[in-house]
Structure formats: structure tokens, C-alpha cells
Structure 1
Amino acid sequence: MDAVNYSNFRQQLKKYMKNVNDNNEPLIVTSKNSEDDVVVLSKSDYDSMMETMAVLSNKYLMDKINSGDEQFAADKGKEHKLFEVNNENTVD
């Protein structure tokens, strides 16, 4: 993860924002006081991180995921046909 000081970040904001979005690489923006440092990341990376945290904090979902992992490890998985959704949002 790259780092840039606040002054350079401010002067080249557009460039840094484009780089963060294009490369999906967070950027640390530093200041004189390290307690004021921030991390800049793309909205899609932020959304993904928030969704992951929501799933990890949901006991019901994590129990389902862990149960599935245990079944798979014990070779007790079942094959299911995938559903396809058509343009009218109905299942074929």
C-alpha cells in the first residue's frame, strides 16, 4: 500500500483518486500528526469490505457457511441444478 503526504495528495487529488479506483489499491494519506492519517479506498472496495463484515458478524449466516464447509469436508455435499433468471425476473 502506497503512502503520500497530505500536501501532495491535495495537489494531485484527481490523479490519486483515479489510481485508487483503477488499481483497487488503498492509499495512506499522511499528515504531521500520525493520528490524523487516513486511508483512501475505492467505493467498490469499501462496499465489499462492509458486506464482508456484515456476513462475518451475522451468526446465522456464519453457522450456515460453517455447516456447509463441514459437509463438504466430510464429502456429504449434494449437487443441485442452478436456477436461471430470465428478463422478467422469473425463474426458468
Structure 2
Amino acid sequence: MIATKQMDLRANIKKYFDLAFNGETIVVSRKENKNVVVISEQEYNELQRAKRNAEYLAKLDRSFAQLKQGEVVIKSMEELERMADE
């Protein structure tokens, strides 16, 4: 991880973008602690995928808890087919 100031980023934007593209995380310090982070699109996509996976796993955990507590609705195949036709 590299930390830099906003003015240095502006003056050397290509350098920092190249570093981010090659896997480096760039933290840009700003006034009032309103910092930003520059990462590659690939790393951003990986973070988004991990976030979606975590959300999906949390849904599964909630579903398993509901199942254990008997909070389920049981339908036969015929009932499901009737519901689909409605």
C-alpha cells in the first residue's frame, strides 16, 4: 500500500495508475480525513465478487436457521405447478 497526497497524485497520475494496475493499493490523503483509495478494476471486481459471496453465504445461514427452527413452508410438486399456472 502506498499513501500519497492529492497534489502528488495529480502531478504523477500515470505513475500511480500504473502502480494500481499492477496490484498496488494507493491511498490518497485529503483534507478532513476524506481519503480515497485507488485500485485496479480487476481488484475492484474481485472485492465486489467477495462481497456478493459473503451476502449469499449470510442468506444461506439465515435460511438454515429458519429450517432448524421449523420456519418453513412445504409444498407438493402439484401445488407448485398450480401456483406457476396462476
With structure 2 as the length reference, what TM-score do the two structures score? Answer: 0.63
- Give how far 1:48 is off: 0.4
Please give the per-residue CA displacement for 1:3-39, whole angstroms capped at 9, x wherever unaligned.
00000001110110001111x12110002321x2101
Structure with the bigger percentage of helix:
2
* 1:46 aligns to 2:24 (yes or no): no
Task: Report the residue type matching 1:5 in the other structure.
Answer: K
Classify the secondary structure of the residue corresponding to 1:58.
helix
Structure 1 residues 8 and 58, CA gap change in structure 2 (3 angstroms)? same
Classify the secondary structure of the residue corresponding to 1:7.
helix
Alignment size in residue pairs: 61
**1:15 matched residue in structure 2:** 15
Identity of aligned residues (%): 25
Unmatched 5+ stretches in structure 2: 62-86
Structure 1 residues 33 and 60, CA gap change in structure 2 (3 angstroms)? closer
Unmatched 5+ stretches in structure 1: 64-92
Runs of at least 4 residues off by over 2 Å: 59-63
Kept in 2: contact 1:4–1:27 (CA 8 A): yes
Q: RMSD of aligned C-alpha atoms?
A: 1.9
Kept in 2: contact 1:55–1:62 (CA 8 A): no
Classify the secondary structure of the residue corresponding to 1:28.
strand
Structure 1 residues 58 and 8, CA gap change in structure 2 (3 angstroms)? same
With structure 1 as the length reference, what TM-score do the two structures score? Answer: 0.59
